[in-house]
């Protein structure tokens, strides 16, 4: 085909927006959230190769040793080192909640995108199913299922992700459903994209903001449920250094003055969920399209 250059616009006076993006106010929240989370991950990784003592071995101290130079965070009733257990616990609590979130995010968003784009009876059926399921409290559901199928890391992860799926599904579905008739979706169809490509390549990337923001809220919830299951003795084996079960093991000491056994795992949980919430806040601000140009 022969090409001739057309004259460029001469009268067009409209100002082309600059490339610079508005700097979001919530950067500090993002930084703190990422900082805390990075610290937890580092500790979890470190615990794989080094802890001050073996976290699973009791009787290193006499039992209920107060924090000291030898045991910076004290020991529990059985004399196991609290710092070592706390470090190893990061692996469990962080690993379980993040894996569960990743599964829920992937499965929920995929089903939600599908339902939202195609609409119709399948969409309605999926939505109603989700609503019925969500009428049931998540923690209670998790407890019942773990009780029924038995404890173990895999089961806890599967239950947690199952509880998380409906929220991702609904968020993705609502976003995609609202946007499927937007002009760029129609344009994408006309360019010859098959429906799944319109949904996943064009609509989904423009809909991830709310989903991502929710991810951190969900991660915080998952961390809390993991700890709750551990606390209730439903999650992992009794000697597993999981923060929730560590709190449970220390609760007698709270009455008699050995506060550190429950306090430090509690602090660890609080720090983790707090960092997730900070991240969620920052992400929902940053991904809000109104804050972009």
Partner 1 sequence: MSGVLLEVENYSGAFWSPTNELVPVLHQVSYRLKTGAMTAVVGETGSGKSLVALSIFGIQPAAFVCTSGRILYRDTDLLGIDEKEMRSLRGAEISMVFQDARAALNPVFTVGRQLADVYQLQHGGGRSAAMAKAIEALRQVSIPEPERRARQYPHEFSGGMAQRAMIAMAALTCRPSLLILDEPTTGLDVTIQSDIMELIVELSRQRGLTTCLITHDLGVVAEICDEVVVMNAGRVVETGTTEAIFTAPTETYTRRLLAASQLLEAAA
Partner 2 sequence: MSFVNMSVGDAILQVRDLHKIFPVEGGRRLVAVDGVDLDVAAGETLALVGESGSGKSTVARCIVRLIEPSGGEVTIDGTAIVPLPTKRLAGIYRRIQMVFQDPNASLNPRMNVRQVLDEPLRLHLALSGAERAGRVRELVEMVGLTPAHLERYPHELSGGQRQRVGIARAIAVSPDIVILDEPTSSLDVSVRGQILGLLLDLQQRLGLAYLFISHDLQVVQHVADRVAVMYLGSIVETGPVADVFRDPRHPYTRALLSAAPVAQWGVKRTRVRLAGEIASAIDPPDACRLVGRCPMAQPSCSAGKPSLIDLGQAHAVACPVVVDRPT
Shortest reach from residue 293's CB to partner 2, in Å:
5
Q: Which of 12, 62, 121, 257 binds partner 2 (CB under 8 A)?
A: 12
How many residues comprise the chain? 293
b/e sequence 242-276, b meaning 16+ C-beta within 10 Å: bbbbbbbbbeebeeeebebbbbbbbebbeebbebb
Site residues (CB under 8 A) for partner 1, limited to 196-225: none
Q: For 81, phi and psi rounded to 5 degrees? A: -70, 125
Q: Which of 1, 8, 11, 135 binds partner 1 (CB under 8 A)?
A: 11
Q: Which of 1, 10, 192, 205 binds partner 1 (CB under 8 A)?
A: 10
- Kindly indicate which of the ranges 10-18, 96-104, 153-161, 237-245 contains the residues binding partner 1, using the contact rule CB under 8 A: 10-18
- Tell me which of partner 2, partner 1, none is bound by residue 17, counting a contact when its beta carbon lies within the kind-specific cut-off of 5 to 8 angstroms: partner 2
Residue 181: partners with Cβ closer than 8 Å, 6 or more residues away: none
- The answer to the question of residue 11 lying near partner 2 (CB under 8 A) is yes
- Tell me which of partner 2, partner 1, none is bound by residue 69, counting a contact when its beta carbon lies within the kind-specific cut-off of 5 to 8 angstroms: none
- Tell me which of partner 2, partner 1, none is bound by residue 20, counting a contact when its beta carbon lies within the kind-specific cut-off of 5 to 8 angstroms: partner 1
- Kindly indicate which of the ranges 14-22, 116-124, 240-248, 253-261 contains the residues binding partner 1, using the contact rule CB under 8 A: 14-22
Q: Which of 2, 4, 14, 289 binds partner 1 (CB under 8 A)?
A: 14
What span, in angstroms and rounded, lies between the C-alpha atoms of 251 and 205? 46
- Tell me which of partner 2, partner 1, none is bound by residue 16, counting a contact when its beta carbon lies within the kind-specific cut-off of 5 to 8 angstroms: partner 2
Site residues (CB under 8 A) for partner 2, limited to 25-44: none
What span, in angstroms and rounded, lies between the C-alpha atoms of 99 and 160? 9
What's the token pair of residue 59? 């009787």
Whole-number Cα distances in Å, 290 to 24, 31, 192, 280, 293: 11, 22, 30, 17, 7
Within a 10 A sphere around the Cβ of 45, how many other Cβ atoms?
A: 13
Whole-number Cα distances in Å, 87 to 221, 242, 262: 21, 10, 15
What's the token pair of residue 32? 């703190």
Q: Could you give the string, one character per residue 176-205, with x where binding to partner 2 holds by CB under 8 A and - elsewhere? A: ------xxx-xxxxxxxxx-------x--x
- The answer to the question of residue 20 lying near partner 1 (CB under 8 A) is yes
- The answer to the question of residue 124 lying near partner 2 (CB under 8 A) is no
Where helices occur in 9-51 by DSSP H, the ranges are 27-49
Shortest reach from residue 26's CB to partner 1, in Å:
14
Size of the site for partner 2 (CB under 8 A): 34
What span, in angstroms and rounded, lies between the C-alpha atoms of 225 and 213? 19
Residues that bind partner 2 (CB under 8 A): 1-9, 11-17, 19, 182-184, 186-194, 202, 205-206, 292-293
Residues that bind partner 1 (CB under 8 A): 10-11, 13-15, 20, 22-23
């Amino acid at each position: 085909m022969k090409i001739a250059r057309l004259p460029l616009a001469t009268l067009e006076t409209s100002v082309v927006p600059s490339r610079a993006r508005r700097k979001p106010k919530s950067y500090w929240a993002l930084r703190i959230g990422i900082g805390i989370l990075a610290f937890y991950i580092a500790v979890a990784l470190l615990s794989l190769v080094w802890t001050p003592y073996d976290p699973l071995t009791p009787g290193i101290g006499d039992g209920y040793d107060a924090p000291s130079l030898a045991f910076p965070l004290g020991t529990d009733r059985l004399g196991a080192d609290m710092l070592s257990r706390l470090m190893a616990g990061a692996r469990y609590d962080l690993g379980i909640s993040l894996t569960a979130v990743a599964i829920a995010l992937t499965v929920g968003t995929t089903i939600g995108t599908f339902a939202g784009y195609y609409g119709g009876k399948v969409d309605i059926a999926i939505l109603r199913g989700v609503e019925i399921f969500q009428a049931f409290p998540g923690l209670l559901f998790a407890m019942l299922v773990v009780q029924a199928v038995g404890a173990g890391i895999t089961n806890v992860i599967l239950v947690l992700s199952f509880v998380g799926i409906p929220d991702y599904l609904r968020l993705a579905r609502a976003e995609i459903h609202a946007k499927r008739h937007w002009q760029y979706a129609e344009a994408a169809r006309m360019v010859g994209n098959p429906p799944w490509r319109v949904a996943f390549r064009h609509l989904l990337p423009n809909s991830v903001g709310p989903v991502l923001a929710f991810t951190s809220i969900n991660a915080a919830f998952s961390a809390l449920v993991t700890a709750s299951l551990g606390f209730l003795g439903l999650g992992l084996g009794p000697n597993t250094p999981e923060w929730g079960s560590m709190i449970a093991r220390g609760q007698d000491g709270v009455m008699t003055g050995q506060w550190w056994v429950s306090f430090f795992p509690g602090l660890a949980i609080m720090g983790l969920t707090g960092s997730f919430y900070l991240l969620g806040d920052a992400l929902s601000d940053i991904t809000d399209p109104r804050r972009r140009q």
